[in-house]
Homo-oligomer: A and B are copies of this chain.
Amino acid sequence: MDFLDIIHTRRSIRKFACDPVSPELIEKILRAGMASPTATNSQSWRFIIVDNRDTLNEIARIHPYAKPAADAPLAIVVCGDTSAGHAPEFWPQDAAAAVQTMMLAARSLELGSLWCGIHPHTGREDAFIRLLGIPGSVRPFALLIIGHPLQPFTHEDRFDEAKIHHNRW
C-alpha cells in the first residue's frame, strides 16, 4: 500500500475487537513513535502501555471521551518529560508528533487507534497522574487507544484550497 494511502485512510476508530495486540506490534508502534523528531533532539516522550482490564475500564471512566477504552485491548498514555532537552517548552509538540506517527504506524499494521486529548486540561492530567503514578516533571499528554478495528479504514480527504496562501496571507 502506498504511503500516502496509509495517511489518507487513517481515521479515528471507536469500535475495537477484544483480541489482544501482540507484543511485537506494540513494540513496532512504540519504535515508530520514538523515530519522531523532538526539539533539540530531547526525546522527551515517555510511554505507559496499559493492557490491564481494570485500568482500561478506569481510564474509560476518568476521561470524558475515552469510552472505547472499555472495549479495547490496549491504550498507550503518551507523556512528556518537561525537564528534558534544551528547549523544554516544545515538549507538547514532541509528544503530538509521536502520537501522530504512532497512529500512522498502527494504521500500516491494520490496527485502529483513537487520540484522546489530556494536556492542557489540568483536570484530566491530574486524574491520569493519580491513576498511573506519573512522577515529578513528567506530564501525561494524550491517550492513544489501540486495537483491531471493527470499523473500516475509509478514505478521508479534507483538502481545502481556502486554507492555503502563497508567499503572503
Residues of A within 8 A of B (CB): 1, 3-4, 6-8, 10, 12, 27-28, 30-32, 34-37, 39, 43, 45-52, 55, 87, 89-90, 92-93, 96-97, 99-101, 103-105, 108, 115, 117, 120-121, 132-135, 138, 142, 156-160, 163-169
Chain B contacts for A32, CB-based, 8 A:
4, 7-8
CB–CB A168/B133 < 8 A: yes
Whether the Cβ atoms of A105 and B3 lie closer than 8 Å is: yes
Chain A residues touching B, majority SS:
mixed
* 15 residue pairs bridging A and B, Cβ less than 8 Å apart: A3-B105, A7-B101, A8-B35, A27-B159, A30-B159, A34-B158, A37-B100, A39-B117, A46-B165, A48-B169, A96-B96, A97-B97, A100-B101, A104-B104, A133-B169
Q: How far is B3's CA from A117's CA once the two chains are assembled, in angstroms?
A: 26
Complex contact B30–A4 (CB within 8 A): no
Identical copies in the complex: 2
Assess whether B47 is in contact with A164, with CB atoms less than 8 Å apart: yes
Closest to A136 in B: B169
User: Separation in Å of the A105 CB from the closest CB of chain B?
Assistant: 6
Given A35-B156, A89-B120, A96-B96, the answer on whether A169 and B105 have CB atoms closer than 8 Å is no
| Complex A-B, nearest 5 residue pairs according to Cβ-Cβ distance, in ascending order | A96-B96, A3-B108, A97-B100, A93-B96, A133-B169
- Please report the C-alpha to C-alpha distance between residue A46 and residue B101 in the assembled complex, in whole angstroms: 20
From B10, B101, B159, contact of A31 by CB (8 A): B159
